[in-house]
């Protein structure tokens, strides 16, 4: 019976031995030689049974891991096994193709055919190892990415009011492991100004509405009291009864991004406010002249529908593209130039600075408009004033040359004739003649000097009006009498034309000045007329009295009608002068007429004659 039982148990063992999925090797303890192995062992080593038998069991392993002693099956001690330790050892086996397989080994002492043997069970753990490695890698990546992105993770257990955090989260909060972690302690880390808001957010938004936690808030980092921005995310977890039990999530330090956002916002704000407040208009147009952008400042001119419109339709009076519009020659990116556009916004002149640029991925032109109408006008005025100054300088020089001639002539005559008078050879008759010449020259000199005095006084504003009431008729009759002799001398007629000859007309004005004006005109008429007649006339014209002095003299061409009222201005060029004079008579007359509250004008045609008119209040 005992034999039967033994056979049966041996058969069972054989069966178990052969069918076992783990590889089993049996080695003699004393020699370490493998005496038996199962099919799974052949599979593990990729080696036939007869190659395995006879190997030393340390040969199963790579050289650096081949441990051998009589009591060891590759490191797993019998002693440990005998003490009941089930803790297996790990090693590697070398396959016949040289590859290595990680194995877990359990050893047991057996007696085989009367010999002390060691039985080793080798379990292929490569799949487990791979999983372990994958897990390690994933842990590694998780940890590394937390560090890299500076994202920490947490889990908050609501029932126990305590949270745990990853290493990175501790760094973000500036705390260490000893920091006691509950809800209030989290609030302690948040910025005092955000604390109330975060408390409400967590309770009223996340817990009450069962929402995701998603909030940017400030904390004061415990380690250095620095204000930092964080983004907190979190997801609620529920138990079987749908009660909230925990919240898990991440907290990321977003301070740098936040600061960048802020500075971007600031620079955007600055840009915007620049765009709005810049004192000149700005637009951006594409290559075809379509408006892509306009500054606020331009909107008031362009109107709200300006975007997409051709720019010249918006601001040019003639709604056509400027002939020198820079778009004709194409946009040059980075190039800035200037051009002037006339006829803009109702006859104004704009200076446009244009720069080639890329806008929304396309070639475009930035135009900056500046209204230079006033500047241009001022420039033109300045040029005119300069020309006038140069002209008057020229006139003054001409006047001086002229004056020296005008003054020398009568002076020479006075000196010359007075010398002759003192010679005894001349007759009484001749001496009388000399005296007359001296007298005429003296008067001429007096006229010139009075004219200069007059114009100087007028310009200095020192001439005063002394009004009296007198008869105009009488004044004109007197002038006629005074000058008829001269007219007869020249062989021309001097006449007067008075309204209603019997009714004398009285006016109130400065009689001397009125006479001076009239005499001036009559003097000129006599000077510039060699045949025909001269006529002095006046008539009433409402509240004013209008005078005219008409002659049939050389006349004045239209281009000089304005100029002759300027000081020293004479139609005749200095080098061909035949009429004399100093160019002061008309400016004096004009100034006096204006002083009396009147106006002056003339009608004249070259070769036909001239009529000088003026009107003063009666």
Q: Which residue is nearest to ligand ADP (CB)?
A: 581
Closest CA to 228 of 176, 189, 182: 189
Owner of token pair 């081949």: 66
Structure tokens, 379: 């420039």
Distance in Å, CB of 553 to ligand ADP, minimum:
5
Which of 551, 552, 598, 614 lies at the binding interface for ligand ADP (CB under 6 A)?
551
Site size toward ligand ADP, by CB under 6 A: 20
Comparing CB distances to ligand ADP, the nearer of 26 and 476 is 476
The phi and psi torsions of 563 (rounded to 5 degrees) equal -60, -35
507 vs 498: CA distance, rounded Å: 14
Q: Which residues pair with 401 in a beta bridge?
A: none
| Complete DSSP assignment for 67-135 | -EETTEETTEEHHHHHTT----EEEEEE-TTS-EEEEEEEEEEEEETTEEEEEEEEEE-HHHHHHHHHH
- Give the H/E segment covering residue 591: helix 585-595
* 610 lies in the binding site for ligand ADP (CB under 6 A): yes
202 vs 230: CA distance, rounded Å: 15
CA distance to 399, 452, 520, 564, 570, per residue, from 573 (Å): 11, 21, 21, 13, 7
* 553 lies in the binding site for ligand ADP (CB under 6 A): yes
CB 583 within 8 A of CB 399: yes
* 89 lies in the binding site for ligand ADP (CB under 6 A): no
Comparing CB distances to ligand ADP, the nearer of 329 and 576 is 576
Comparing CB distances to ligand ADP, the nearer of 202 and 483 is 483
Comparing CB distances to ligand ADP, the nearer of 188 and 603 is 603
Number of Cβ within a 10 Å radius of residue 470: 18
Comparing CB distances to ligand ADP, the nearer of 476 and 554 is 554
Which of 564, 592, 593, 600 lies at the binding interface for ligand ADP (CB under 6 A)?
564
The contacts of residue 434 (CB under 8 Å, 6+ apart) are 417, 418, 420, 421, 426
Which of 55, 571, 595, 596 lies at the binding interface for ligand ADP (CB under 6 A)?
571
Q: Which of residues 99-138 bind ligand ADP (CB under 6 A)?
A: none
* 554 lies in the binding site for ligand ADP (CB under 6 A): yes
572-591 footprint of ligand ADP as x/- string (CB under 6 A): x--------xxxxxx-----
470-499 footprint of ligand ADP as x/- string (CB under 6 A): ------------------------------
CB 187 within 8 A of CB 198: yes
Distance in Å, CB of 369 to ligand ADP, minimum:
49
* 556 lies in the binding site for ligand ADP (CB under 6 A): yes
Comparing CB distances to ligand ADP, the nearer of 406 and 510 is 406
454 vs 462: CA distance, rounded Å: 9
CA distance to 32, 463, 520, per residue, from 590 (Å): 145, 14, 11
Which of 120, 570, 592, 593 lies at the binding interface for ligand ADP (CB under 6 A)?
570
Tell me the window of 58-66, 221-229, 253-261, 551-559 that interacts with ligand ADP (CB under 6 A): 551-559
Distance in Å, CB of 518 to ligand ADP, minimum:
13
Comparing CB distances to ligand ADP, the nearer of 410 and 581 is 581
Tell me the window of 119-127, 228-236, 242-250, 569-577 that interacts with ligand ADP (CB under 6 A): 569-577
Closest CA to 114 of 4, 28, 3: 28
Comparing CB distances to ligand ADP, the nearer of 352 and 564 is 564
Comparing CB distances to ligand ADP, the nearer of 343 and 523 is 523
187 vs 202: CA distance, rounded Å: 11
- Give the H/E segment covering residue 371: strand 362-371
Tell me the window of 92-100, 129-137, 300-308, 566-574 that interacts with ligand ADP (CB under 6 A): 566-574
520-539 footprint of ligand ADP as x/- string (CB under 6 A): ----xx--x-----------
Report the half-sphere exposure of 132 (CA within 13 A, side-chain side). 6
Distance in Å, CB of 543 to ligand ADP, minimum:
28
Number of Cβ within a 10 Å radius of residue 331: 20
Q: Which of residues 183-222 bind ligand ADP (CB under 6 A)?
A: none
Question: 479-483: long-range contacts (C-beta < 8 A, 24 or more apart)?
Answer: 479/515, 479/518, 479/519, 479/522, 479/536, 480/536, 482/519, 483/519, 483/522, 483/523, 483/526
Distance in Å, CB of 337 to ligand ADP, minimum:
51
Distance in Å, CB of 402 to ligand ADP, minimum:
9
Comparing CB distances to ligand ADP, the nearer of 369 and 568 is 568
Distance in Å, CB of 591 to ligand ADP, minimum:
11
Interacting residues toward ligand ADP by CB under 6 A: 524-525, 528, 551, 553-556, 564, 569-572, 581-586, 610
């Amino acid at each position: 019976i005992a034999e039967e039982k033994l056979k049966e148990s041996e058969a069972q063992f054989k069966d178990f031995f052969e069918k076992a999925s783990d590889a089993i090797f049996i080695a003699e303890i004393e020699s370490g030689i493998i005496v038996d192995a199962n099919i799974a062992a052949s599979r593990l080593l990729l080696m036939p049974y007869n190659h395995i038998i006879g190997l030393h069991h340390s040969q199963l392993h790579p050289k650096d891991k081949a441990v051998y002693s009589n009591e060891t099956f590759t490191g797993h001690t019998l002693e440990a096994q005998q003490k009941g330790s089930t803790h297996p050892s790990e090693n590697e086996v070398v396959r016949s193709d040289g590859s290595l397989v990680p194995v877990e080994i359990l050893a047991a002492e057996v007696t085989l055919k009367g010999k002390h043997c060691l039985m080793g069970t080798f379990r292929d753990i490569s799949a487990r190892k791979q999983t372990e490695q994958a897990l390690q890698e994933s842990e590694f990546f998780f940890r590394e990415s937390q560090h890299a992105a500076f994202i920490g993770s947490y889990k908050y257990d609501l029932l126990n009011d305590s949270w745990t955090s990853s290493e990175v989260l501790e760094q973000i909060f500036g705390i260490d492991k000893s920091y006691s972690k509950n809800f209030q302690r989290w609030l302690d880390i948040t910025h005092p100004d955000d604390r109330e808001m975060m408390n409400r957010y967590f309770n009223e938004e996340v817990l009450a509405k069962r929402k995701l936690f998603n909030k940017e808030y400030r904390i004061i980092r415990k380690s250095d009291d620095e204000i930092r921005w964080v983004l907190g995310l979190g997801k609620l977890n529920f138990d079987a009864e749908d009660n909230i039990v925990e919240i898990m999530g991440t907290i990321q330090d977003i301070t740098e991004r936040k600061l960048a956002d802020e500075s971007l916002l600031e620079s955007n704000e600055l840009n915007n406010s620049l765009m709005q407040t810049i004192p000149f208009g700005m637009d951006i147009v594409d290559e075809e002249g379509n408006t892509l952008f306009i500054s606020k400042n331009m909107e008031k001119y362009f109107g709200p529908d300006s975007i997409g419109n051709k720019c010249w339709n918006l601001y040019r009076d003639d709604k056509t593209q400027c002939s020198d519009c820079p778009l004709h020659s194409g946009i040059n990116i980075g190039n800035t130039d200037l051009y002037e556009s006339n006829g803009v916004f109702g006859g104004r002149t704009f200076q446009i600075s244009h720069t080639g640029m890329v806008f929304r991925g396309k070639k475009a032109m930035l135009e900056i408009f500046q209204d230079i109408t006033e500047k241009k006008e001022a420039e033109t005025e300045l040029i005119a004033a300069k020309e006038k100054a140069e002209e008057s300088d020229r006139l003054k020089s001409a006047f001086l040359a002229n004056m020296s001639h005008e003054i020398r002539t009568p002076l020479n005559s006075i000196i010359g004739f007075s010398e002759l008078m003192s010679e005894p050879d001349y007759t009484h008759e001749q001496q009388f003649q000399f005296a007359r010449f001296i007298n005429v020259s003296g008067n001429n000199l007096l006229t010139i000097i009075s004219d200069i005095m007059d114009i100087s006084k007028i310009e200095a504003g020192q001439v005063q009006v002394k009004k009296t009431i007198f008869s105009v008729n009488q004044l004109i009759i007197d002038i006629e009498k005074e000058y008829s002799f001269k007219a007869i001398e020249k062989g021309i007629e001097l006449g007067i034309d008075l309204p209603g000859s019997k009714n004398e007309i009285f006016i109130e004005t400065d009689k001397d000045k009125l006479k001076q004006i009239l005499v001036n005109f009559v003097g000129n008429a006599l000077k510039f007329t060699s045949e025909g007649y001269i006529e002095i006339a006046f008539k009433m014209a409402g509240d004013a009295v209008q005078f005219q002095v008409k002659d049939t003299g050389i006349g004045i061409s239209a281009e000089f009608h304005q100029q002759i009222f300027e000081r020293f201005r004479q139609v005749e060029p200095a080098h061909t002068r035949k009429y004399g004079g100093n160019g002061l008579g008309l400016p004096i007359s004009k100034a006096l007429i204006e002083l009396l509250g009147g106006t002056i004008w003339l009608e004249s045609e070259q070769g036909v004659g001239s009529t000088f008119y003026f009107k003063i209040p009666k």
